[in-house]
Structure 1
Amino acid sequence: MATPPTPTLVPASLARRMACWLYEGLVLFALMMVAVLLQSALAIVLPALNHPALLQASTLTLWGAYFVYFWQRGQTLPMKTWRITIVDAQGYRLTRIRALTRYAFSWIWGLPLLLQLTPWPLAVTHLSIVLGVWVVLWMLASRLHPQGQFWHDAWAKTQLLQAP
C-alpha cells in the first residue's frame, strides 16, 4: 500500500537544495572510498580485478544503490539534515523504478565529464572550470521551471520538497 502524500507540498529552496547537494558529495566521496577499499582487497586475491573500469562501475553501482535505497524511504542523510524530502509528482514516496530513473537523469550534473572520453581530454584544471560553469548553469536553469525544481526532477517526475 502506498504511503499517503506529504501534507505540505512546499518546494525546497534552491539554496537548501544546493547545500544538500554539497553535503551529498561528501557522502559520495566516502562511498567511493569504500569501493576503492573493496576493489583493492579483492585485487590482492585476484589481480585481474585491478582495473579502472571495474572501479568506476562498482562506484556507480554503489552510488546508485545508496540513492535508490534512501530515495525510496524519502530522504538521504544530507536531505534529513537540510529538511528536504523527495516524492513523486503526486506527492507519494518513490518506487524503485522512479528512483532509478531519477538516478539516471541526475547524471546530467556530470555531463561535462563525458569530454574525457573524447580523443582530446581536457586537463584537470580546464575540466574543473567547465564542470563548475555547467553546474552553475544547470542550477540556474531550475529558475525556469514553474515550481523551481531541477529539470532532471521534472523529467523523472519527482520533486524535492521542504520536509515538515
Structure 2
Amino acid sequence: MRRLAAFTYEGVLLFGVLMLAGWLYSTLTQMKDARIGVTGLQLFLLVVLAIYFVWFWSHGGQTVAMRAWHVRLVDGQGRPVGQTRALGRFVLAWLWFAPALATAHFAGLHGPAIFGVLLAGVLGYAALARLHPQRQFWHDAVCGTRLITWRPQRPVAKAEATSSSTA
C-alpha cells in the first residue's frame, strides 16, 4: 500500500512539474493552438519525465514522493541504481499505462472513459505484483531493481553525543 500511496503522491507532484514544463514548451515554441504541435509537446513532456525519474533514481534512489513515503529504489544487491538501469526501469515502467492507453485508443474512448480504463489498468498491473514471490512489480523484476522501505538515520543530538563520550 505504501508503494501505491507514493505512486499517487507522485502523480500529484508530477501534475505541477508537467504543467510548468508544458507552459515552458508552449511559450518557447509560441504554441497558439493546442491542436497544432501536440506531438512535439508530448515528446517534450516524456523527456521531462525521463529526466525527472532517472535523475532522482540514480541520485539517492528516491523521488520527492518516495522520500515522503520512505521508499527507496535499489538494485538486487541493495546498492544504488545507475543511470542506465534507471532509464531501463523508466521505459519498462510504462507497462503501468501502455495496455490501458492502447485499449482506450483502439476502442476510440474519449474523456472520462480514458480515466476509467487507465485506473483499471494501473490497479490491474499493481495486482500482478502479488503474483511475484517478493511482491515486486514486473518492471522491477526485469530490471533487477527493487523498492525497499528506507528511513534515514536520525542525527545524534549534541547533548547525547557529549554525555555518551564523557561516560
Counterparts of 1:150 and 1:45 in 2: how far apart (Å)? 38
The CA RMSD measured in Å over matched residues stands at 1.8
Gaps of 5+ in 1: 1-14
2:104/2:117 contact within 8 Å kept: no
Match of 1:100 in 2: 87
Task: State the alpha-carbon separation in 1 of the partners of residues 14 and 31 from structure 2.
Answer: 26
1:14-163 to structure 2, matched below 5 A, reads 15-44=1-30, 51-73=37-59, 74-111=61-98, 112-118=100-106, 120-163=107-150
Pair 1:125–1:42, CA change in 2 (3 A): same
The one of the two structures with greater contact order (alpha-carbon pairs below 8 A, sep at least 6) is 1
Normalising by structure 1, we get a TM-score of 0.83
**Aligned-partner SS, 1:86:** strand
SS at match of 1:44: coil
Structure 1 residue 126 displacement after superposition: 2.4
The aligned residue for residue 9 of structure 1 is none
Structure 2: which 5+ residue stretches go unaligned? 152-167
Once the two structures are TM-superposed, the CA of residue 123 in structure 1 deviates from its matched residue by 2.3
Equivalent residue letter for 1:68 = V
| CA shift digits 1:133-158 (9 cap, x unpaired) | 11111111111111111111111111
Contact conserved, 1:31 with 1:59, CA < 8 A, in 2?
A: no
Once the two structures are superposed, residues 17-40 of structure 1 have per-residue CA deviations (whole angstroms, 9 ceiling, x without a partner) of: 000000110121112112211112
Deviation at 1:121? 2.0
Stretches (4+) displaced over 6 A? none
Paired letter, 2:101: L
The whole-number CA distance in structure 1 between the counterparts of 2:30 and 2:77 is 49
Provide the C-alpha distance between the structure 2 equivalents of 1:99 and 1:130, rounded to a whole number of angstroms.
27
Q: 1:132, 1:46 → 2: CA distance? A: 31
The alignment covers a number of residue pairs equal to 147
Structure number with larger C-alpha Rg: 2
